Amino acid sequence: MSTITTVTEFWGALWQAVGRVLLLDATVFPAVRATAGGLELALCILLLAGISQTLGQSVTLFANRVSRRRFLRALVLSALVFYVERRVLGRRRSGWIARLIFGYDGPLRGVLISVGLSYAPLLFGLFVFLPYLGNPLAHLLRIWVLLATIVAIVSNAGLPIMQALVCVVVGWIVWQAASSYAGRRIEQVLDAVERRLLGTTLSDTLDLSSEVARERERLRAR
Amino acid sequence: MGWLLPQLVTLAGVALTAALIIAWCSPFEALGWWAGWSGGLDDDVGALPRVVQPSTTRSYLVYLTGIGGFAPNEEGYSRRELSFFDGLSAQLPDVVLVHDVFPFSVSNNPLDGQRQLAGLWSWLHSRVRKPGGALLYNLVMTRNMMQVAVSSDRRYGPIYNYGVGREIAQSLVRHGYRPDSYTPVVLLGVSGGGQVALGAAPTVRALLGAPVTVISLAGVLSDDPGIDTIEHLYHLQGSRDRVPLLGALLFPGRWPWVGHSNWNRAQHDGRITLIDTGPMTHMGEHEYLARRAVLPNGQRHVDHTIELIEKIFVEEGLCARTQQSAVSSQQG
């Protein structure tokens, strides 16, 4: 097992791994698994992907008129939520499904590394902020992550591609069901954290009506 | 020649990177304004004196410049545009012409206004007629083009278009428009200004209670929801101008097979009229406002463009002239 000893080595290994994941190179997954510090490397990619993704979708923060200081807090909070969600709850589902349906019994550390790496395409998430191109790019990145996840499962569990695809699809359905069941409670917790950190709860929709009404009055009063 | 290729690749790389940075930063002006980071929302609407218009005023025409625009004033407009304004005012004496709104800023902040890169934009503008200046001015056009992309983006468009619409409404009030008077408002947008006109129309309508018509002069138009709130869209395009076709190509809502898009619905309902202006180009010596270029019938391009706009005003009853008087004046 190779070992990463310096920060420079860590970043070098990280960008090399990212490049190979982006090319959907299946050999990168066992290589990182066989590296001491591979888990940290994969989780670092996941965290950076979370920050990039959050930056790309920061229009919600602006629409909610958060101040600059709270904007930074919200970025950190959203990136952490992304990280924790994927690390603790999210993609481990594919590992469980691989165990339940296909009898795979490998270590979950391997699953976590593979899945952390497979989020590497979201390092480009900040480009979702681009006007016009942002939306199609977001779809492209989702597909890229999906493909990388399939390659990761094939590599980690040694499953055929179709079975890996089933894992991902069933995992997605389970996640949607779990989200809708537990969603309200999770949302309440996140709302409370948002209120605490940002002083407001973020809304996904932009409401211009009160602003329009105020401006109408100003123009008429003139 | 082998040495040239790496240089060109480097140059293309630098240009692409610059375009990417400009594109990525482009939504910040509108979003920062909305979030209150630049304090723009508390502008005083009464900052300028209000003009009282004569009772004969039939409608208001707001001019929104194209992506080459720099500032909505004498220094910022080209000589062709200033001459165009004179021609419009002469032909439409009972229409109030408003041209002090900069469509590529959410707070009507011109490129030489209070902004961090004002020095750069001013320098580029001052060099536009010097050797190499036109090439460098592409930076200004890229910057403005990205604001058009912001206007047409469903995530940023509502904020951006609200901001520009609000500035148009404030300018109209300064020029004597009385809210809820139902006096018609016409937004005339050139090139990228056409998209901004379409996007801002719902706000103008909501703030002033005004019926809004949009005239797009070679506009690059998206499938903007604003099209559902306007009276009519007139799209003027020259037969030698391919630039407006970008809108039809880049925005899926304008593809004919996307059945229930705002654009296709409006077209089906007859709320869009396409007008061929003749062999005019998007830019250069043969563009729509050119004073030297003439059509095969000898008419100057700018005069023909004004004539077509006047015809729209006459047909829509937006000016006092009737179709008969317009015809007789042309014959005379």
Q: What is the pLDDT of residues B168-187, one digit of tens each?
A: 999 999 999 999 999 999 99
Q: Give the pLDDT band (50/70/90) at residue A47.
A: confident
Sign, CA torsion B91/B97/B99/B101: negative
Query: Six-digit token pair at B13?
Result: 């790389």
Q: Is A75 exposed, middle or buried (0-12, 13-18, 19+ CB in 10 A)?
A: middle
Residues A130-146 have pLDDT tens digits of: 999 999 999 999 899 98
Task: Give residue A182's pLDDT.
Answer: 55
Q: What is the mean pLDDT of residues B106-124?
A: 92
Q: What is the mean pLDDT of residues B221-231?
A: 95
* Residue A102 pLDDT exceeds 90: no
Give me chain A's average pLDDT, please. Answer: 80
Cβ contact A220–B180 (<8 Å): yes
CA distance B134 to chain A (A): 25
Residues B248, B237: Cα–Cα separation, whole Å: 13
B176 touches chain A (CB under 8 A): no
Distance of CA B194 to CAs A27, B72, B81, B213, B214, Å? Answer: 52, 16, 15, 12, 8
Query: Six-digit token pair at A193?
Result: 């954290």
Lowest mean pLDDT among A86-100, A104-118, A149-163: A86-100
Residues B96, B318: Cα–Cα separation, whole Å: 11
Longest Cα–Cα distance of chain B, Å, equals: 71
Nearest to B173 among A59, A211, A222 (CB): A222
Q: What is the mean pLDDT of residues A109-116?
A: 80
Residues A110, A126: Cα–Cα separation, whole Å: 28
- DSSP character string of B175-239: TTPPTTS---EEEEEETHHHHHHHHHHHHHHHHH---EEEEEES------GGGGTSS-EEEEE-T
Q: Quick one: CA torsion of A179, A185, A191, A193, rounded to 10 degrees?
A: -100
Task: Give residue A222's pLDDT.
Answer: 72
Q: Give the pLDDT band (50/70/90) at residue A180.
A: low
* Residue A97 pLDDT exceeds 70: no
Q: What percent of chain A has pLDDT over 70?
A: 73
Q: Give the pLDDT band (50/70/90) at residue A94.
A: low
Task: Give residue B190's pLDDT.
Answer: 97
Query: Six-digit token pair at B43?
Result: 């502008």
Helix (H, G, I), strand (E, B) or coil at B122: helix
Nearest to A220 among B179, B203, B250 (CB): B179
CA distance B282 to chain A (A): 22
Q: Give the pLDDT band (50/70/90) at residue B133.
A: confident
Q: Is B50 exposed, middle or buried (0-12, 13-18, 19+ CB in 10 A)?
A: middle
Query: Six-digit token pair at B86?
Result: 């004179």
User: In this structure, how many other beta carbons lie within 10 angstroms of the beta carbon of residue B7?
Assistant: 9
The yes/no answer on whether domain B57-107+121-331 falls in CATH 3.40.50.1820 is yes
Task: Give residue B332's pLDDT.
Answer: 47
Using an 8 Å CB-CB cutoff, list chain A residues near B27.
59, 129, 131
* Residue A191 pLDDT exceeds 90: no
B260 Cβ neighbours under 8 A, 6+ residues apart: none
B27 touches chain A (CB under 8 A): yes
Comparing CA positions, the residue from B78, B59, B106 lying closest to residue B231 is: B59
Comparing CA positions, the residue from B80, B46, B52 lying closest to residue B66 is: B80
* Residue B42 pLDDT exceeds 60: no
Nearest to B46 among A62, A133, A222 (CB): A222
Q: What is the mean pLDDT of residues B89-94?
A: 94
Lowest mean pLDDT among A11-15, B87-91, B260-264, B320-324: B320-324
Nearest to A215 among B32, B154, B166 (CB): B166
B 198-257 residues with CB < 8 A to A: 203, 206-208, 250
Q: Give the pLDDT band (50/70/90) at residue B104.
A: very high
Lowest mean pLDDT among A28-42, A180-194, B133-147, B202-216: A180-194
Residues A34, A42: Cα–Cα separation, whole Å: 12
Query: Six-digit token pair at B2?
Result: 């082998």
Comparing CA positions, the residue from A98, A57, A94, A92 lying closest to residue A78 is: A57
* Residue B318 pLDDT exceeds 60: yes
Task: Give residue B251's pLDDT.
Answer: 93
Identify which has the larger pLDDT, B322 or A157: A157
Give me chain B's average pLDDT, please. Answer: 91
**Exposure on the CB side of residue B139, measured as CA atoms within 13 A:** 20
Using an 8 Å CB-CB cutoff, list chain A residues near B36.
65, 67
Residues B119, B136: Cα–Cα separation, whole Å: 14
Residues B234, B223: Cα–Cα separation, whole Å: 15
Q: What is the mean pLDDT of residues A64-75?
A: 82
